[in-house]
Amino acid sequence: MMRGNAIVGQSGGPTAVINASLCGVIEACRQYPEIERCLGMRFGVQGFLESDVIDLYQEAPETIEALKRTPSSALGSCRYKLRDEDFPRLLEQLQRFNIRYVFLIGGNDTMDTIHRLEEFCRKQNYPMLGVGIPKTVDNDLFGTDHTPGYGSAARYVAISVRQAGMLARDMRRVDQFVIFQTVGRSAGWLAAASALAKSAEDDAPHIILVPERPFDRDKFLADVKRVYDKFGWCSVVCGEGITYPDGRPVSQATVTDQFSNVEFGAMGGTSAAMMLHRMISQTYGWRGEFQVCESLQMCAADRVSEIDLEEAYACGREAVRLASEGVSGMMVSIRRESSQPYRYRLDTVPLAEVAIKAKPMPDEFISAEGNYVTEAFLEYARPLVGPLPEYVRLKGYKVGA
Footprint (CB under 8 A) of its own copies, residues 147-206 = 159-160, 163-164, 166-174, 178
Question: Judged by CB, which is closer to its own copies: 255, or 376?
Answer: 255
In contact, 140 and 189? CB cutoff 8 Å: yes
- Told to check if 53 binds its own copies by CB under 8 A, we report yes
* 184 carries a ligand binding annotation: yes
Nearer to its own copies, 93 or 144 (CB): 93
Contacting range for its own copies; rule: CB under 8 A; set: 146-154, 202-210, 298-306, 349-357: 298-306
Q: How far apart are CA 205 and CA 186, in angstroms?
A: 20
* 63 lies in the site for its own copies, by CB under 8 A: yes
Residue 185 labeled ligand binder = yes
Smallest distance from its own copies to CB 153, Å: 12
> One symbol per residue from 8 to 37: x for binding its own copies (CB under 8 A), - otherwise; what is it?
-----xx----------------------x
CB-nearer residue toward its own copies: 152 or 333: 152
Question: What part of residues 213-252 is at the interface with its own copies (CB under 8 A)?
Answer: 248, 252
CB atoms near residue 306 (< 10 Å) = 12
DSSP state of 373: B
Residues labelled catalytic: 138
Selected binder of its own copies within 32, 87, 97, 231 (CB under 8 A): 97
Q: Which is nearer to its own copies, 294 or 379 (CB)?
A: 294
Q: Classify residue 249 by its DSSP letter.
A: B
| DSSP assignment of 56-118 | GGGS-HHHHHHGGG--S-TT----PPPPTTHHHHHHHHHHHTTEEEEEEEESHHHHHHHHHHH
Residues sharing a CB contact under 8 Å with residue 400, sequence separation 6 or more, in sequence order: none
Smallest separation (angstroms) from its own copies to the CB of 23: 10
Nearer to its own copies, 200 or 267 (CB): 267
Q: Is 108 annotated as a binding residue?
A: yes
361 touching its own copies, by CB under 8 A? no
- 336 labelled as ligand-binding? no
368/394 with CB nearer its own copies: 394
Q: Which of 84, 85, 325, 399 binds its own copies (CB under 8 A)?
A: 399
Q: Which stretch binds its own copies (CB under 8 A): 72-80, 142-150, 329-337, 347-355?
A: 72-80
Task: Tell me if 355 sits within 8 A of 108, measured CB to CB.
Answer: yes
Closest C-alpha to 83, from 39, 40, 49: 49
d(CA 358, CA 25): 25
Strands 35-41 vs 53-55: parallel, antiparallel or unpaired: antiparallel
Q: Identify any residues that bridge with 102 across adjacent strands, giving them in sequence order.
A: 7, 130
Query: What number of other Cβ atoms are within 10 A of residue 129's Cβ?
Result: 24
Residue among 77, 108, 144, 324 that touches its own copies (CB under 8 A):
77
**Per CB under 8 A, which of residues 300..329 are in contact with its own copies?**
300-303
* Strand, coil or helix: 39: strand
Should residue 395 be labelled a site residue for its own copies when binding is judged by CB under 8 A? yes
Q: 64 pairs with which residues across the strands? A: none
The reply, when asked if residue 131 is annotated as ligand binding, is no
**Degrees to nearest 5, angle at CA 304 with 303 and 306:** 135
How many residues touch its own copies under the rule CB under 8 A: the total is 96
- DSSP 8-state assignment for residue 146: S
Pairwise CA distance, residues 21 & 39, whole Å: 15
- Shortest spacing between CB 132 and its own copies, in angstroms: 20
Report if residue 392 touches its own copies, rule: CB under 8 A. Answer: yes
In this structure, the dihedral spanned by the alpha carbons of residues 265, 184, 333 and 55, taken in order and rounded to 10 degrees, is: 50
Interacting positions 249-278 with its own copies (CB under 8 A)? 252-258, 262, 264, 267-270, 274-275, 277-278
In the annotated binding site for diphosphate, the residues are 13
Binding-site residue numbers for Mg(2+) are 108
